[in-house]
Amino acid sequence: MTPADRTRPGSRRRVTELPPELQALRLEKAVLVGLSRGRDATQAEASLDELRRLTETAGAEVIATLTHRRDSPDPATFLGKGKAQEVRDIVRAEQADTVIVDEELAPGQLRNLEEIFGCKVLDRTALIIDIFAQHAHSAEGKAQVELAQLNYLLPRLRGWGESMSRLGGGIGTRGPGETKLEVDRRRIKKRISNLREEIEDLEKTRGIKRHERARSRVSSVALVGYTNAGKSTLLNTLTQAGVLVEDKLFSTLDPTTRKLVLPDGRPAVLTDTVGFVRKLPHTLVEAFKSTLEEAIRADLVLHLVDGSDADPEGQYMAVRDVLGEIGAASVPELIAVNKIDAISEVDLARLRRRFPEAGFVSALTGEGTEALLEKIAERVPHPEIEVDLLVPYDRGDVVAALHAAGAVLSEEYLEEGTKVGARLREEQLGRLERYILPADRKRARRSR
């Protein structure tokens, strides 16, 4: 091509190399490696497929995936010498930037693999933490992610050695990664302590709001589920919240609370929580514990299951595992199977047999949401009601029981008996109806 051709209008030429300013914009190339133990090959493939989605969410291009069948991880290289050499050959042939392993690596394994591959190596935990770092926007979310990052990095400082600076950019280097990896252990511990204090202060603010809702006797419902199960979409459908909805894993991290009006007119609050995945890193569970406490303190957990997923039962159990870890396993639970508009009649029938008490909805179209609200109204406790009782003096045991239950608001001694102002639950109203003053009796019956 002549110089004239290059300047002639409408001429075309092949660009064999991107200019320097555009080379930096290319996607990071990643090779994914999983381990299949014993007979769980199907689970290993499902986990590796999820790792692919996580990698793409983090902003990288997956160029190869490998599954290695092995009874137990190799202590030195996790994969074993032969498989590690095979992965190295792929990295060199494809000019990959990163190898991501679908498990959590020990510091020594991480260092050894980086030396063998000659590129950056991440484990599943580091990848998920990086995604959280991209999506944290609030002060609390950023503090929780940084706390998780530092707790993950602290035991790996010695393992990374000279490579711990990782100043090259890309997955695993966001947030405090570029600066905190070069500080010593003492400064990291100090920063961890400061972050915990900061999160505790933010938690106190949320605790005040929870206390105000409790005083106003408003029931609370915590919306939990696997990431990308449609929690934000359902929150919008039920409450017109207008929160962000994206077809990405962990698109929202901060809890969002909105008012929910139940079919019987009672008010409630619905709180969307951070999504879960299989093998959710313990450091993240610990860091987000204050956020996840919305589920612990709720009157009802609304557990959303993605019915269109290849393994909805596995998603359900993964969420139950995390709920057990944070102490919310005993909170009353209502299962809602979402995305019924995207599944076949056969799969829908199977899910109805698997979750017979569940509500079946499409958060996108609104189908089934009215029936789901009815189920929520049945499960959440009715609010306490304030009434005046006149208890004869020969039934001092009734007054004593009210005091023991902490239900007494006021007490006055009259000629006919003890007038007690009390806050009663629904089951107490029936037992004490004979003592409720006529002015409050009709209101008490209506509340039931």
What are 345-358's pLDDT values in tens digits? 999 999 999 999 99
Q: Which residues contact 387 (CB under 8 A, 6 or more apart)?
A: 421, 422, 424, 429, 436, 437, 440, 443, 444
Model pLDDT for residues 193-247, shown as the tens digit of each residue: 888 888 888 777 766 666 655 555 678 899 998 888 888 899 989 988 666 566 6
Q: Identical fold at 216-379 and 385-447?
A: no
Domain boundaries, the chain: 25-214, 216-379, 385-447
408: which residues sit within 8 A by CB, 6+ positions away?
399, 402, 420, 421, 422
Contact of 113 with 99, CB cutoff 8 Å: yes
Look at the pTM and tell me if it is higher than 0.85: no
Residue 179 gets the label, from left (phi > 0), alpha (psi -120 to 50) or beta, of: alpha
Distance CA 20, CA 23 (A): 5
Please write the tens of the pLDDT for every residue from 18-63: 455 444 456 789 999 988 876 566 777 888 888 998 899 888 999 9
Return the CATH fold of 216-379. Rossmann fold (3.40.50)
CATH 3.30.1130.10 fits 25-214, yes or no: no
Residue spans of alpha helices (H) in 355-395: 369-379
- Domain 385-447 falls in which CATH fold? Alpha-Beta Plaits (3.30.70)
**pLDDT given for residue 159 in this prediction:** 45
